[in-house]
Structure 1
Amino acid sequence: MNVADLTLQADVAHWSWTIAIFLWFVGIAGMGSVAYYFSRKAPLAITILVSLIVGLLFVVSHLTRWWNLPVTIFYAVLELSFNFQSWMFWGFAILSVHLVLSAVVVVANIPYLQRFWFLRWAAVLNKSNLFLGLFAFAGFGSTVYSGFLLSTAAGVPLWNTALIPVLWVISASVATVALIELFYVLGWTDEREAAFGLRLGMGLDVMKLLAVLAFIHISLTVGTMGAQIGAARMFSGDLALMTWIGVIGIGIFVPLAIGGLSLLIGKKKPLLIVSSVAALAGVLFLRAVVLLAGVWEPLVI
C-alpha cells in the first residue's frame, strides 16, 4: 500500500516534531528527577525544571486555541468538576505536581534564595528522603504518563501497546545518563557518578535496542493492519533512515562504541561529549519516528 494512500495522523492531528520535543523534555525531566534522588546536584535540579517548562511550552504552542486550557482549568476547579477517567486530566495533575516539586528543589539549590527566611523550608525539604522520594515518584509518573498518552490514543494502532511506556522509560533513562556525562565534562559532577553512569548507560543502550526491535517486530507480526503499516514505515519504508541511522545508529551504537572504548582506554572528554549528544539525539529521534509512523486503520473495501 502506497504511503500517499494512507491517512497519516501527522497530516491531520499534527502530532509530529512539536509533540516529540515535548515528550523528549518531559522524559528528561522525569527520569532526571529519579536520578536527583541519588545525585542531588544543583545543575540537575535546574535542568529538570527548565526541561519541564520548555516541554510544556511546546505542547501549549501545539494547541490551536491555547487560551481554552486555562479557562477550562479555572471552571473545572471552580465547579469541582473533574474527569477522573481522562488521561489528559491525570497527565495535567501529574505534570503540575512535578512542576511544583521541581521549583521547590531549584529554590533549595540556589544559595542566594536561602537568605530569605520564608524560603528556607525548601532546603529542609531537599534534605528529606521522603520528599525526594515523592519527587522521584512524580518524575517517574510524568515519564510513564507521556508513554500512556500515546498507548491509549484511539485510532492509531501502532501506539496501542504497553511497550511504549516501557520504551519511554528506558530511553528517558538513557537521556538522563547522557546529561550526567555532560555534567562531568563541564565539571558539575564527580568521577564516581560519571563512572557509574558510563556502565549504566551501556546497559540501558542494550535494553533500548532490544525494546525498539521488539516494538517493531511485534507490530509487524501480531499488530492490526494499521500497526503493521506503521511498523513497516519504520523498518523499511519512508522512515527507515530515521529508525536505523537516527535511533539505532546514532542513538545506540555510537554511545555503545564510545562506552566500550572508554572502558578500555579511560574516559576522554571529547568522546564523552559526542556520546552524550548522540544519545540525546537518538532519544528525540525515537519519539519523532514513533509519532510520524502513526497511521489510522485503512478502510478495506
Structure 2
Amino acid sequence: MDFSFVYEIQHHAAFGPLIVLYFFLAGLSAGLFLISALSTVFGWQAVKPLAKPAALTALAVLIPGLLALVADLGRPFRALYLFLNVNPSSLMSWGSFILLFYGLVCVPYIWFLWRDQEKNAKTWGKVGVVLAISLGLYTGFLLAVVPGKPLWNSALLPVLFLVSGCVAALSLISLAKKAFVQGGAAGAAYESALHSLKVWFVVLEICLVFFHLLTVYFLSGLGELTVMNLLAGEKAFTFWAVQIVVGIVAPLILLSLKQSPYSMGIAGLCSLLGVFALRYNFVYGGQELPAAGTQLYHQGGGIEWLSVLVLLGLGVVLIVTLPYLSQRLLHPTSSKSISG
C-alpha cells in the first residue's frame, strides 16, 4: 500500500501589499531627501535647483506610505501603542520613532528652504540626512532580523533597500522632469550629474542583489531552496521580467543611448517598476518556504491591492499639488518657478 502523500501547505503572509507599498514609499522618500540635501548639506551646487522640489516630494510620498502602514494594522489607533510602550530591544519600536522624527524634521527643513534661509535649512538638513539614511536602512533591517526567513537574513539587505530607494528617487526625478528640472544650461548641468549618479547607483544595486542572493544561497539548504524559488519558482517572472529586465537592464540601455526627455522618462518609469518589484519579490519571496509548500495566503489581498492603487494615486496628487500650494502660501506674490 502506498502511504505517500503530497501536501501543499498554505502559509499566512504576515507582510502583504500595503507593507510592500510602505517599504517602497519610505525608501523613495528617504532617497528624495538625500538628493535634496546634496546641495543644502553637502554643498554640491550643480544640483541646488533640486533642493526644494525634492524635499517637498519626499514629504508627499511619505504621507501615503504612512497611511499604508496604518491601514495594514487594521485598527489605526494601534499605532499609538508603539509610542506609548517604548521597547529599546524592538526594532519596530525604533522604526516608529525614526518615522516620527523624520516626518517632523521634513517640515521645518522645507519651510526654511522655501523661505531661502539656507543656514537654518542646512542645520535641519543635517538632522534629516541622518534620519533619512536610518529610514532607508530600517525597512531592510526590519526584515533581516526576522528568524527563519533565509531570503531576509543578510546584512546586505538594509543597504540594498537604501540604495534602491535612491535609485527610485533619481528615477522619479527623470520621470517627472517638468516638476523638477528647469531648462537652460543649469538644467543641463544637473541633469548630466544626476544621470551619472543614477548609473552608479543602478550598478551598485546589481552588485548588492547578486551578493545578497549568493550569501543566502550558501547560508543553508533552506536558503538554497528559497533563492531557487525566487529565481525559478513562484517569483521567477516578477524577478527576471520585471525587477531585472524592466527595472535594471532596460534603464541601463536607455541611459547609455543619446539622452532625450522621452528616453529618460521611460528609463525612470522602468526603474520605479523595478524597485517596486524588488520590494515585492523580497517581501513575498521571503515568506515562501519551499521545503513545506509555497502557497501564500493573505486575507483581504484583493482589497489591499486596490488600496495600494488608491494610495499611489494619492501620492501622485500630492506630488503635483504640494509645490504649487507651498509656492502660493510662502511666496503669494512671486511668479518664480517652483523649482527655482
TM superposition shift of 1:181 = 2.0
The answer on whether the counterparts of 1:157 and 1:296 sit within 8 Å (CA) in structure 2 is no
Give a deviation string over 1:238-261, Cα, whole Å, max 9, x none: 211111111110111111001100
Q: Distance in 1 between matches of 2:75 and 2:26?
A: 22
What letter corresponds to residue 8 of structure 2 in structure 1?
A: D
SS in 2 for 1:157: coil
Matches within 5 A, 1:74-93: 75-76=84-85, 82-93=86-97
The answer on whether the counterparts of 2:170 and 2:198 sit within 8 Å (CA) in structure 1 is yes
Distance 1:47 1:256, change over 3 A: same
What letter corresponds to residue 17 of structure 1 in structure 2?
A: P
Q: Distance in 2 between matches of 1:205 and 1:102?
A: 26
Q: Distance in 2 between matches of 1:297 and 1:183?
A: 40
Distance 1:181 1:32, change over 3 A: same
TM superposition shift of 1:73 = 4.6
What letter corresponds to residue 189 of structure 2 in structure 1?
A: R
What letter corresponds to residue 287 of structure 1 in structure 2?
A: R
Residue aligning to 1:136? 129
1:200 and 2:197 aligned = yes
Residue aligning to 1:22? 22
1:281 and 2:273 aligned = yes
Residue aligning to 2:296? none
Residue aligning to 2:31? 31
Residue aligning to 2:110? 106
What letter corresponds to residue 112 of structure 2 in structure 1?
A: A
What letter corresponds to residue 95 of structure 2 in structure 1?
A: G
Residue aligning to 1:243? 239
TM superposition shift of 1:204 = 1.5
Aligned-residue Cα RMSD (Å) equals 2.4
What letter corresponds to residue 28 of structure 1 in structure 2?
A: L
Give a deviation string over 1:222-271, Cα, whole Å, max 9, x none: 12343222211211112111111111101111110011003xxxx21011
- Taking structure 1 as the reference length, the TM-score comes to 0.83
The sequence identity of aligned pairs, in percent, is 23
Residue aligning to 1:171? 164
Residue aligning to 1:49? 59
TM superposition shift of 1:42 = 2.3
Distance 1:106 1:129, change over 3 A: closer
Q: Which runs of 5+ in 2 are unaligned?
A: 1-5, 39-47, 293-340
The counterpart of 1:290, out of the listed 279, 282, 289, is 282
Distance 1:140 1:61, change over 3 A: same
TM superposition shift of 1:130 = 3.1
Give a deviation string over 1:141-164, Cα, whole Å, max 9, x none: 100111101101233222111111
Q: Distance in 2 between matches of 1:95 and 1:187?
A: 25
SS in 1 for 2:257: helix
Q: Which runs of 5+ in 1 are unaligned?
A: 77-81, 115-122
Q: Distance in 1 between matches of 2:61 and 2:242?
A: 22
Distance 1:33 1:179, change over 3 A: same
SS in 1 for 2:74: coil
Residue aligning to 2:253? 257
Q: Distance in 2 between matches of 1:12 and 1:290?
A: 12
Residue aligning to 2:260? 268
The answer on whether the counterparts of 1:34 and 1:137 sit within 8 Å (CA) in structure 2 is no
- Taking structure 2 as the reference length, the TM-score comes to 0.74
Residue aligning to 1:213? 210
